[in-house]
Amino acid sequence: MKITNAKVIVCSPGRNFVTLKIETDDGIYGIGDATVNGRELAVASYLQDHLVPCLIGRDASQIEDIWQYFYKGAYWRRGPITMAAIAAVDVALWDIKAKAANMPLYQLLGGASRTHMLAYTHANGETIEETVDKVAAFKEEGWKAIRVQSAVPGLPVTYGVEKVGSLAQAEDKPRETLWDTPTYLRFLPKLLDHLRDRFGYDLHLLHDVHHRLTPQEAAALAKEVERHRLFWLEDAVPAENQESFRLIRQHSTTPLALGEVFNSIHDCRQLIQEQLIDYIRTTPLHAGGITHVRRIADLAGLYHIRTACHGAADMSPITMGAALHFDRWVPNFGIQEYAFHPDEAKNVFPHEWHLKDGQLYSGEKPGHGVDIDEKAAEKYPYRRAYLDVARLSDGTMWSW
């Protein structure tokens, strides 16, 4: 089965997405997501100008060899742009192979380990009361796990407190937001107290610190919130220095999740081997595709660490589809994030996967079950957009 064409489709149905479509001489095509929020055109060019010319004429069935060719052949290995581009190729080729075999992708990976996947979504509010009301509404809808973020008093804007799925991004240059760790550290336990008082402990609560603390601050917070029995505390500390998580681990049993920004197994090998985390958040988009996240999941499984693919709205429905087929197979599955795509995106990317009572279902269609309506995509041209940045009150740049 020869690759005859590969095209990069950039569109913005509610937010920017980059899609790779690979066509073969058998008439079967596959699609992969290559979206890196805020740096979309870098990946589009990496694909269009560098990888696509090397794809034409290759045997589409050689998924592993093509992965190794683009990883080792780049010389300049790893990084979010490179690994998202390789991921798009990889997911598209897995889609093709599963379609050619006339089976849903999870069957090709090794078959179903479960019928459905526990999901979590985002409840947020400008006040604690608003956040509590949002949690109550999601609980009513059948969600068993909910991420909670609330505006930190005194901060004009707080991460995670935006309309779910919104572009929430400036177009001329990044929006500058203010951060204040002491205020946040005093506030979060209060939010969680309110939530546990209202809902008790039979609802999984998750919280995303979003890379904002030092190891000592994270250790103190994780220790203080132990009584709330969180499902996890996510991205407590920027994790370039993987061993810094030893300090958090020494002081608390609060489960830790990390890895949505990781793009290779090397970003998390020490964290996994030293059992410094409980959930690994790598996805078939940012971490090199199905081929690579399988390797990460297998390593994690040796250390009792479970998967928890990142599922924010800034990754296309293609990644949700690929992740759910991976989730259906992977033995050490933990949970799947789902933060609703804008309606326009659902129209551009028709998909088989679906949500019911807080559980996600992969669908049974051959491939990963997601397609792209290229005509619909044309209606939403790319528009430059940036993620926010964060500064402290004295102007110091901080992690957003």
Residues that are catalytic = 159, 210
Element (H, E) at 378: helix 374-378
Please state the closest distance from residue 315 (CB atom) to ligand CS2, in A.
7
Give the SS3 label for residue 184: helix
Q: Which two tokens stand for residue 325?
A: 């087929």
CB 390 within 8 A of CB 178: yes
CB 368 within 8 A of CB 105: yes
Pick between residue 48 and residue 149 the one whose CB is nearest to Mg ion: 149
x-or-dash pattern for Mg ion, window 150-189, by CB under 5 A?
----------------------------------------
| Candidate residues 37, 82, 158, 263; the one interacting with ligand CS2 per rule CB under 6 A | 37
Please state the closest distance from residue 310 (CB atom) to ligand CS2, in A.
6
CB 389 within 8 A of CB 176: yes
Please state the closest distance from residue 209 (CB atom) to Mg ion, in A.
9
x-or-dash pattern for Mg ion, window 239-268, by CB under 5 A?
---------------------x--------
Pick between residue 125 and residue 366 the one whose CB is nearest to Mg ion: 125
Contact partners, residue 197, CB within 8 Å, separation at least 6 = none
Round to whole Å and give the CA distance between 338 and 318: 13
Check residue 337 for interaction with Mg ion (CB under 5 A).
Answer: no
Please state the closest distance from residue 339 (CB atom) to ligand CS2, in A.
6
How many CB atoms neighbour CB 149 within 10 A?
A: 23
CB 287 within 8 A of CB 263: yes
Count residues contacting Mg ion (CB under 5 A)?
A: 2
Pick between residue 87 and residue 239 the one whose CB is nearest to Mg ion: 239
Check residue 260 for interaction with ligand CS2 (CB under 6 A).
Answer: yes
Check residue 33 for interaction with ligand CS2 (CB under 6 A).
Answer: no
Check residue 40 for interaction with ligand CS2 (CB under 6 A).
Answer: no
Q: Which two tokens stand for residue 264?
A: 């290779």
| Candidate residues 157, 376, 387, 389; the one interacting with ligand CS2 per rule CB under 6 A | 387
Check residue 208 for interaction with Mg ion (CB under 5 A).
Answer: yes
Pairing of strands 279-280, 306-307: parallel
Q: Which does 312 bind (CB under 5 to 8 A by kind): Mg ion, ligand CS2, none?
A: ligand CS2
Please state the closest distance from residue 53 (CB atom) to Mg ion, in A.
35
What are the two backbone dihedrals, phi and then psi, of residue 278, each rounded to the nearest 5 degrees?
Answer: -115, -25
Pick between residue 95 and residue 314 the one whose CB is nearest to ligand CS2: 314
Please state the closest distance from residue 115 (CB atom) to Mg ion, in A.
27
CB 71 within 8 A of CB 77: yes
What's the angle, vertex CA 361, arms to CA 111 and CA 14, rounded to 5? 125
x-or-dash pattern for ligand CS2, window 93-132, by CB under 6 A?
----------------------------------------
CB 220 within 8 A of CB 251: yes
Please state the closest distance from residue 112 (CB atom) to ligand CS2, in A.
26
x-or-dash pattern for ligand CS2, window 302-341, by CB under 6 A?
--------x-x-x----------------------x-x--
Round to whole Å and give the CA distance between 31 and 17: 12
What are the two backbone dihedrals, phi and then psi, of residue 244, each rounded to the nearest 5 degrees?
Answer: -65, -20
C-alpha distance from residue 245 to each of 13, 269, 277, 289, 381 (Å):
38, 13, 8, 26, 42
Residues near ligand CS2 (CB under 6 A): 37, 208, 210, 260, 310, 312, 314, 337, 339, 387
Residues near Mg ion (CB under 5 A): 208, 260
